[in-house]
Structure 1
Amino acid sequence: MERGRRTIEARLRALLDLGRRQGHLAFADPHEAYETLYGLVVRDLHVRMLLGAPAPEGADVKVQAARAVDGFFRLYGRM
């Protein structure tokens, strides 16, 4: 957890905070915003992989990432 998700969380929260300070994002709770984005990115991937499903590759990863970012901006974006 220390080298994985917590490291990612610290870096991503800094990036989200920068987006908020620059007026691109609007959120009150940085942890909630991080959890939302993380959930949109990871979705059920961990469960599927634990059940033996193959990890997505190439275009699938790009499509899932684009959907996650789009969903996050719909929730927290300031346009």
Structure 2
Amino acid sequence: MNIKGSNFNADHVLERQLGGTDTLDNLWPLDAGINGSGGSTLHHMQVELTPGVWSKVVDMKNTSRKYFLKVVSTL
């Protein structure tokens, strides 16, 4: 959703694909060019849960266990 008169989109703090809601307290402005590809990138990303144990983000949302991710670098 574009924010009227700007180059920003309303982006989810906690992504919808990870259980985030479409409520105001879960949205923040993000540059439209960055936001456009973020969901697809996140959907296919793999993360290391413990040394040597990897999981796709999309598979993590389909469990009863809750995960929190810490971003340590960006491209």
Q: Same fold (TM over 0.5)?
A: no
Larger proportion of helix: 1
Band the TM-score falls in, shorter-chain normalisation: under 0.3
Higher relative contact order (CA 8 A, sep 6+): 1
Alignment TM-score, normalising by the size of structure 2: 0.27
